[in-house]
Amino acid sequence: MKINKYKKYHKIKNIFKNERNSLTVIKKGFYGFKILESGIITPKQLETARRIIARITKRSGKIFINIFCNHALTKKPLLSRMGKGSGGVSLWISYVKKGKIFIELKGISKKVAYIAFKAVSKRISLKMKFLERNIMDA
């Protein structure tokens, strides 16, 4: 269970203003999925991507997910009146900037990694690109 310091969070403004990011190169694995446009990813999308990759790779190799859903979205109950606060936390999301490495794979062949990429890119609402780590980078 996630433990938070505060019960409710303010909405982040201008999250996509600075496009500079630390996770723009593959560090842990040999293959990576790079996000090409800024947007929002939900925990359901992360879990779907993980399950698809695990099914295609037959649980061989290692999966590194570099995104964590740490921003809360609040929602008021359906039949409540206006005012009296922002409501309870309804969903945790992750704001992703373009250029970030979304998932890294290690210990599988390039063909299997590319098949997994094609399957995941159909389920995620953002454009992605398949990357391979150079031998010189290792």
Task: State the residue for tokens 């779907």.
Answer: 48
Instruction: Provide the pLDDT for residue 113.
Output: 95
> Which tens digit of pLDDT belongs to each residue from 64-91?
999 999 898 888 888 888 888 888 889 9
Could you tell me the pTM of the whole model? Answer: 0.77
**Could you give all domains of the chain from N- to C-terminal order, each with its CATH number?**
31-76+86-132 (3.90.1170.10)
Under 8 Å CB-to-CB from 98, ≥6 apart: which residues?
19, 35, 36, 37, 38
3-state secondary structure of 110: helix
Query: Would you state the structure tokens that stand for residue 129, as one six-digit string?
Result: 């690109």
Strand partners, 132: 31
